[in-house]
Amino acid sequence: MRTRDSAAPAAALRGEWRTLRRLLPYLWEFRGRVAAAVAFLLLAKLANVAVPVVLKEIVDALSGGKALLAVPLALLAAYGVLRLSTTLFTELREIVFARVTHRTARRIALEVFRHLHSLSLRFHLDRQTGGLSRDIERGVRGISSLMSYTLYSILPTLVEILLVTGVLLYLYDLRFALITFATLVAYVFFTVTVTEWRTKFRRQMNEEDSRANSRAIDSLLNYETVKYFGNEQHEARRYDENLRRFEAAAVKSTTSLSALNVGQSGIIAVGATLVVWQAAQGVVAGRMTIGDLVLVNAFMIQLYVPLNFLGVLYREIKQSLTDIERMFGLLGEHREIEDKPGAPALVAANPVVRFEDVRFSYDGRREILRGVTFEIAAGRTVAVVGHSGSGKSTLARLLFRFYDVTGGRITIDGIDIRDVTQASLRAAIGIVPQDTVLFNDTIFYNIQYGRPDATWEEVVAAARAAHIHDFIERLPDGYETRVGERGLKLSGGEKQRVAIARALLKNPRILVFDEATSALDSKSEKAIQAEIDRIARGRTTLMIAHRLSTIMHADEILVMDQGRIVERGRHGELLQRGGLYAQLWALQQREREAGPGEGEPAILTAGRTRG
């Protein structure tokens, strides 16, 4: 245990140095501003240290019964100018350095954001959105805090300590400098030691805060599910578990802070008393003047007031480094799917899509696809049907290259999709997914997302093609209607029609419909299916379907079962064979005859109610 305990601080220190090294390249871009800020800092501190020196001369000039008018006006003018200069140079330092702080934080946050979008679907399925957002938020805030505390507090204090110590050594006995230095060493040692001990409480607070936030967001995103099962109290108890642990860590952090403050004040009090006592002895002995006593006392105040915040600064800097390191850790997440160096863009005018002996497993333990081979000729439509879990939707994810195949290959016009850029591959494909998730924005924005530079007229045309324009027009705010978190203000059918309009607006050469009409009522399904058939004409189309009635006119139908293609052919041919497809068709015909109350999925009834 001792080995682990001694290794932990060393590992933490190495992590902090790595974090600082990663920050340096971002700062190097602003080296001119950094140099100017440091110059203003030095000028501000020189002026600040000179103030007590001038004050000493003024006090000495007034001592011994001299009249006020006898004080040289130059000293009074110098005192005022130095006071003004301290503030002026400090503000100039902040003005010059402000852009460095905020631009650096902005660039790193953007880099992390882009990197997260470049990570594989596997990472995003495993992540906790609430905790991840907090990590980025704290990391960005940590960058601003680290730079501000370093340039505005730590560095100025160090410069002032050096200047004051130098003045004391030059003007007075060595004992003044030694007492001052010894007090500072004791103060820093005590502060660092106690703060290191307290850091574990702060770290625990942050961990519990992230857990509580993740749990709260997860619960609120699943609001309807919570209501369905009446589990409000259950969710509140789970949330309170994290809040209770956060509370315990917060109480320990607060009480230990009080102990730190008392210890710091004790060390400062002892040091300041010893210095003033030495100065008083010098005045009594005639070696020093009243002005010297004022000077020494002013120096002690200037030094110890900022030191009062050293514990807070040290803790915040340590915490900032931890938060930044955690955010940089996101940049270190491995990109499972990457473009090959020098990969060309995909050119697909009349694309032929081919799956060649494709095998795939999500976790290496259970194979989802087992030697799947088929081809979608240019401008033709291939449909895939099968029971849930047969691997149908996995085909679309592999075609988009959210994952790489574990065996075989997928080609477009004979080119392996792993040999072209992901951006060009996905630009060539449009999809209407089974589970449509919309942005918490307007309907117009969500349709225009298919092609952000599309005009209003093009968006409306896509909405008409998806048979949702009339519905949108009836809304009080029309296309400016906000759809809510994940599109929860729309029914399943309405969301799916928005997704269809979005895909149509993209106008891709390859189309994928993954259960594209699963949330629509029968009337809307027929209308949209006719439109889908029209749109698919001349495009290379993959249709993944549960309802067999939607793929009757496909050029080829593939029937999947347990990751394999067990039947293939046209609708009529498959019915004549009397195999799995014929069984599925007969089952769905019975469900259709039974009516929505018995045979149709519940979501269809919901879609009919609202859409």
pLDDT tens-digit series, residues 101-118: 878 888 887 877 777 776
pTM: 0.61
Phi-psi region of 353 (alpha: psi -120 to 50; beta: other; left: phi over 0): beta
Query: 510 to each of 31, 170, 350, 575, how far by Cα in Å?
Result: 49, 81, 9, 28
Fill in the amino acid letter for 96: V
Q: Does residue 428 lie in a domain region?
A: no
Does residue 444 sit in the same domain as residue 326? no
Q: What is the CATH number of the domain that holds 496?
A: 3.40.50.300
Does residue 51 sit in the same domain as residue 197? yes
Q: What is the pLDDT of residue 420?
A: 92
CB atoms within 10 A of CB 375: 13
CA-CA-CA-CA dihedral for 96, 97, 102, 107, to nearest 10 = 100
Fill in the amino acid letter for 556: E
- What is d(CA 331, CA 325) in angstroms, rounded to the nearest whole number? 10
Contact 34, 103 (CB under 8 A): no
Q: Does residue 376 lie in a domain region?
A: no
552 φ/ψ angles, rounded to the nearest 5 degrees: -60, -30
Q: What is the pLDDT of residue 532?
A: 74
Fill in the amino acid letter for 37: A
Which of 331, 361, 387 is at the close of a domain? 331
Side-chain half-sphere of 209: how many Cα atoms within 13 Å?
13
Q: Does residue 506 lie in a domain region?
A: yes
Q: Does residue 219 lie in a domain region?
A: yes
Does residue 324 sit in the same domain as residue 473? no
CB atoms within 10 A of CB 14: 10
Smallest CA-to-CA distance from 379 within 415, 342, 343, 348 is with 348
Q: What is the pLDDT of residue 311?
A: 64
- What is d(CA 159, CA 86) in angstroms, rounded to the nearest whole number? 14
Enumerate residue ranges in the chain where pLDDT < 50: 1-5, 67, 597-611
Q: What is the pLDDT of residue 608?
A: 33
Contact 588, 548 (CB under 8 A): yes
The strand pairing partners of 358, in sequence order, are 372
Q: H or E stretch including 569?
A: strand 564-569
Q: Which residues contact 215 (CB under 8 A, 6 or more apart)?
A: 130, 238, 239, 242
Contact 52, 298 (CB under 8 A): yes
- What is d(CA 112, CA 99) in angstroms, rounded to the nearest whole number? 20
Q: Does residue 280 lie in a domain region?
A: yes
Q: What is the pLDDT of residue 542?
A: 93
CB atoms within 10 A of CB 29: 13
Rg over CA atoms, the chain: 35
Fill in the amino acid letter for 530: A
Q: What is the CATH number of the domain that holds 313?
A: 1.20.1560.10
Q: What is the pLDDT of residue 594?
A: 67
Smallest CA-to-CA distance from 498 within 477, 482, 522 is with 482
- What is d(CA 324, CA 206) in angstroms, rounded to the nearest whole number? 13
Does residue 310 sit in the same domain as residue 447? no
Q: H or E stretch including 564?
A: strand 564-569
Q: Would you state the structure tokens that stand for residue 473, as one six-digit string?
A: 């027009």
Cα 144 to chain center, whole Å? 16
- What is d(CA 117, CA 110) in angstroms, rounded to the nearest whole number? 11
Q: Does residue 339 lie in a domain region?
A: no
- What is d(CA 217, CA 199) in angstroms, rounded to the nearest whole number? 27
Q: What is the pLDDT of residue 606?
A: 33
Number of domains the chain contains: 2
Helix, strand and coil percent figures for the chain, each rounded to 5: 70, 10, 20
Domain of 555? 435-538+547-560
- What is d(CA 259, CA 195) in angstroms, rounded to the nearest whole number? 10
Q: Does residue 459 lie in a domain region?
A: yes
Contact 565, 397 (CB under 8 A): no
Burial class (CB in 10 A: 0-12, 13-18, 19+), 72: exposed
Q: Would you state the structure tokens that stand for residue 423, as one six-digit string?
A: 């951006």
Which of 331, 353, 368 is at the close of a domain? 331
Which of 331, 359, 377 is at the close of a domain? 331
Give the pLDDT confidence of 410-447 residue by residue, as tens digits.
Answer: 999 989 999 999 889 988 888 888 777 788 889 999 99
Contact 361, 406 (CB under 8 A): yes
Q: Would you state the structure tokens that stand for residue 176, as one six-digit string?
A: 């003044």
Does residue 324 sit in the same domain as residue 442? no
Q: Does residue 602 lie in a domain region?
A: no
Please name the residue ranges forming H helices in 286-309: 290-307
Query: 317 to each of 19, 23, 370, how far by Cα in Å?
Result: 12, 14, 53
- What is d(CA 407, CA 360) in angstroms, rounded to the nearest whole number? 6
